[in-house]
Amino acid sequence: MVDEVIENKDGLKLRKLVELKTDTAEEYQKAMLDRVEYFKEKNLEKSQFNSTVQNTVIQALSTALDLKIQVDKALGEENKKKVHEFLDNLLLFGL
């Protein structure tokens, strides 16, 4: 793989990928996961409160999405369309 190493203002070395071959997919995936882990740890150091709030919001949104999926399954296709039409009309009426 041809790459170019760039150093940013924080002193981090970044690898600019010019060509990605299939045999380097694991290497690329590992690099992305390492970057995610680095920024996760860096942001944890900044503020424990923000991390807790973010996790709570994400968990709430995930729960809401799971609930929506379960309701959609329970309603069935025809009833789901009726509910969506009703909500669309309600929202459009409010505008």
| pLDDT tens, position by position, 2-45 | 556 667 667 777 666 565 555 566 777 788 888 888 888 877 76
Asked if the model's pLDDT at residue 1 lies above 50, the reply is no
Whole-model pTM over 0.75: no
Q: How far apart are CA 6 and CA 13, in angstroms?
A: 6
SS3 of the chain: CCEEEEECCCCCEEEEECCCCHHHHHHHHHHHHHHHHHHHHHHHHHCHHHHHHHHHHHHHHHHHHHHHHHHHHHHHHHHHHHHHHHHHHHHHHHC
The values of phi and psi at residue 65, to 5°, are -65, -45
